[in-house]
Amino acid sequence: MPQQNYEERLRAVKILRSARKFLSLSKISELTGLSLSIISRYSSEYTLPSEGNAREIINSLLSKQIISNIVANAIKVYNGFYDISGVTWNPDALLLISEYVKKRFNGNFDRILTPEAGGISLATSISISSGVPMVVAKKQRPISSEPIIEGVHFYGPASYTVFYVPKRELPKGGKILIVDDFSVRGHTLNALIELIRKAGAEPRSMLVIVGIGKDWKLLPDSEALIEISG
């Protein structure tokens, strides 16, 4: 059995088992076109799907619509405040989003950049899923003798956002995926983009869990799992 086929079949089971935390067996059966008994066997027993069934599970459960619906149901809104801890603290939600990102961006990045602290859990999960290193941009300049890159975005006479990373963590020519949990005006994302460009790397794409309005869409390939008009 080719190793790649085995890994994809195992991946399908992991995705299926996490999806079951949010979707009923009948809904998963409807989405994948597989029978209830087959879905039940894959998700509750140590049975790997065939290569074809694994592909169907992955493609069906990692659609943008399904992932967005799962995220929407996990988010709570209190008087205009969005509590997304149901996503960022939930290992099954993180696994599904990370697998979606792996499929969606299809190897189009070799570093993941996230600001402290909101995006760290998602960026970590994406890093584990994709095997791509992650970098955390910090709000305070590290105490270090090595070269540090600074990214600053001014949005008023005395208002600015600044982040720092060691230069070695963003290699020149690198393809960077920016990940954050929440964005409205894009001030943090602007600072991260400047930081990437100062390093001589390329800000390829951007993913946020919740994006409000359109100001945060700073790259041609920018996506929010939940997009809210603002």
Rounded distance between C-alpha atoms, residue 200 and residue 164, angstroms: 15
Same domain, 43 and 88: no
Where among 61, 80, 98 does a domain terminate? 61
Asked whether residue 66 is domain-assigned, the answer is: no
Rounded distance between C-alpha atoms, residue 52 and residue 7, angstroms: 13
Task: For 150-197, write each residue's pLDDT tens digit.
Answer: 888 887 776 778 899 999 999 999 999 999 998 888 889 999 999 999
Same domain, 175 and 117: yes
Residue of 129, 225, 130, 218 lying closest to 178 (CA atoms): 218
Same domain, 89 and 171: yes
Domain that holds residue 169: 71-228
Same domain, 54 and 88: no
Q: Specify the pLDDT at position 4.
A: 58
Cis before 117 (ω within 30): yes
Helix, strand, coil fractions of the chain, as percent rounded to 5:
45, 25, 30
Query: Residue 49 corresponds to which tokens in the numbers above?
Result: 């799907």
Per-residue pLDDT band for 3 (boundaries 50, 70, 90) equals low
Same domain, 44 and 153: no
The pTM score is 0.91
Residue of 110, 111, 73 lying closest to 92 (CA atoms): 73
Same domain, 30 and 118: no
Where among 39, 61, 83 does a domain terminate? 61
Number of domains in the chain: 2
